């Protein structure tokens, strides 16, 4: 399924159902995080939600759940969340540092050199 790259073929739903489910789950979690942040009515609520998800990602890192870390980081770099400049300006230095470390950890630059 994975090594045979069945997930890249046209009939991937039949040949690689497990990889398709993992991909769907990843995308669903990213959309959940993005929608929770973006649908917040005010900046302070958005800041609280970003800080909450950064803490969740840090807990995932401690548990060696790097897929969870990547889900949160992918949601933070989603254009709908990334463009919230005034919200990001109000994020605390501790949380900003945590987010930067987590993004460096799951960065594709150097391919797992940071692990």
Residues in the chain: 115
Read off the DSSP letter of residue 8: G
Each residue's pLDDT tens digit, 99-111: 999 999 988 776 6
Tell me the whole-structure pTM to 2 decimals. 0.84
Q: Once rounded to an integer, what is the mean pLDDT over residues 2-10? A: 65
Q: What is the pLDDT of residues 51-94, one digit of tens each?
A: 999 999 999 999 999 999 999 999 999 999 999 999 999 999 99
Split at pLDDT 50, 70, 90, the class of 7 is low
Q: Confirm if 66 and 101 have CB atoms less than 8 A apart.
A: no
Mean pLDDT of 25-43: 95
């Amino acid at each position: 399924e994975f090594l045979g790259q069945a997930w890249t073929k046209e009939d991937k739903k039949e040949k690689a159902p497990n990889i398709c489910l993992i991909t769907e789950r990843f995308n669903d979690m990213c959309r959940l995080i993005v929608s929770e942040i973006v649908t917040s009515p005010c900046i302070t609520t958005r800041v609280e939600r970003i800080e909450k998800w950064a803490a969740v990602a840090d807990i995932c890192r401690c548990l060696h759940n790097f897929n969870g870390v990547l889900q949160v980081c992918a949601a933070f770099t989603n254009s709908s969340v990334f463009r919230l400049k005034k919200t990001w300006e109000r994020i605390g230095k501790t949380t900003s540092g945590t987010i930067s470390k987590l993004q460096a950890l799951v960065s594709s630059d150097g391919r797992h050199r940071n692990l």
